[in-house]
């Protein structure tokens, strides 16, 4: 139990620091095509243990988003997206439950659930997170086409990062 708390606490801090210090400075798009944001921090929400109470998931998501917001100078934007992802996570987990049910003592990692399951799970949540994030950033539906383009291109790159992290570190819990 305390092991889980420590693992997730460290994951929280590392993902936060990597996001706000390293990834924030990267803008891989070329100048006239500035649509790519790399968001890796939602991985924390994805990898919370399966038995995490929903309220705690939402609370932690909100905190993580708010801290990212501090560094991005955009109070509320990442927080709103993270809370959305935290809520979505419960629904997606419900839909994607394997026939034998989950072993709730673990996190839904690639190692535990298999690559195909994890890729699908991460894709839905990352797409949801990015779409919500860019909608909040524009805070209007006037730039809907822009928002979709940003979501699409950022999704490809961010998913690449999420899967790369899973392959490199391959966490079990």
Partner 1 sequence: MRNLLEFLARFGGFFLFLILEALSFFLIVRFDDDKNRIFLSSSNAVAGYMLKKYDAVADYFSLPGELDQLQEENKRLREQLAESYYAPDYDVDTVSLTVRTQDSIYSKGVVVRDTLQKQDSMATQIYAYVEANVISNSINRRNNTLTIDRGTSQGIAPRMGVIGPQGIAGIVKTVSKHYASVVSVLHSDISVSATVKHKGYFGALVWNGPDPRYMQLEAIPKHAEIAAGDTIVTSSFSGVFPAGLLIGIVESVTQNPGDNFHNIKVALASDMSRTGRVYVVQNKWLEEYKQVQKQEEDRK
Does 122 bind partner 1 (CB under 8 A)? Our answer is no
Report how far residue 138's alpha carbon sits from residue 167's, in angstroms, rounded to the nearest whole number. Answer: 33
Report how far residue 129's alpha carbon sits from residue 61's, in angstroms, rounded to the nearest whole number. Answer: 11
The answer to whether the Cα torsion of 91, 55, 158, 35 is positive or negative is: positive
Q: Report the residue number, 64 or 113, with the smaller CB distance to partner 1.
A: 64
Does 74 bind partner 1 (CB under 8 A)? Our answer is yes
Task: Write the DSSP symbol of residue 23.
Answer: G
Contact assessment for residue 110 and residue 96, using Cβ atoms and an 8 Å cutoff: no
Applying CB under 8 A, which of residues 4, 50, 87, 165 lies at the interface with partner 1? Answer: 87
Does 86 bind partner 1 (CB under 8 A)? Our answer is yes
Q: Report the residue number, 59 or 114, with the smaller CB distance to partner 1.
A: 59
Does 116 bind partner 1 (CB under 8 A)? Our answer is no
Does 65 bind partner 1 (CB under 8 A)? Our answer is yes
Q: Which two tokens stand for residue 126?
A: 């990352």
Q: Report the residue number, 73 or 101, with the smaller CB distance to partner 1.
A: 73
Does 106 bind partner 1 (CB under 8 A)? Our answer is no
- 50: CB partners within 8 A, 6+ apart: 93, 102, 103, 104, 105, 106, 107, 108
The residues that touch partner 1, with contacts defined as CB under 8 A, are 17, 20-22, 24-25, 27, 29, 31-32, 34-37, 54-55, 58-59, 61-62, 65-66, 69-77, 79-80, 83-84, 86-87, 90, 136-139, 146
């Amino acid at each position: 139990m305390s092991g889980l708390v420590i693992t997730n606490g460290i994951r929280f801090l590392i993902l936060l620091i990597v996001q706000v210090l390293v990834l924030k400075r990267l803008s891989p798009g070329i100048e006239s095509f500035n649509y790519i944001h790399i968001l890796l921090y939602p991985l924390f929400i994805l990898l919370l243990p399966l038995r995490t109470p929903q309220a705690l998931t939402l609370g932690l998501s909100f905190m993580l988003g708010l801290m990212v917001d501090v560094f991005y100078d955009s109070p509320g934007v990442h927080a709103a997206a993270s809370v959305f992802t935290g809520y979505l996570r419960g629904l997606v987990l419900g839909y994607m439950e394997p026939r034998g049910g989950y072993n709730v003592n673990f996190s839904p990692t690639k190692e535990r659930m298999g690559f195909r399951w994890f890729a699908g799970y991460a894709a839905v949540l990352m797409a949801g997170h990015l779409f919500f994030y860019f909608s909040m950033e524009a805070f209007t539906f006037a730039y809907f086409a822009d928002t979709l383009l940003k979501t699409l291109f950022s999704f490809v790159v961010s998913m690449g990062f999420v899967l790369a992290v899973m392959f490199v570190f391959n966490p079990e819990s």
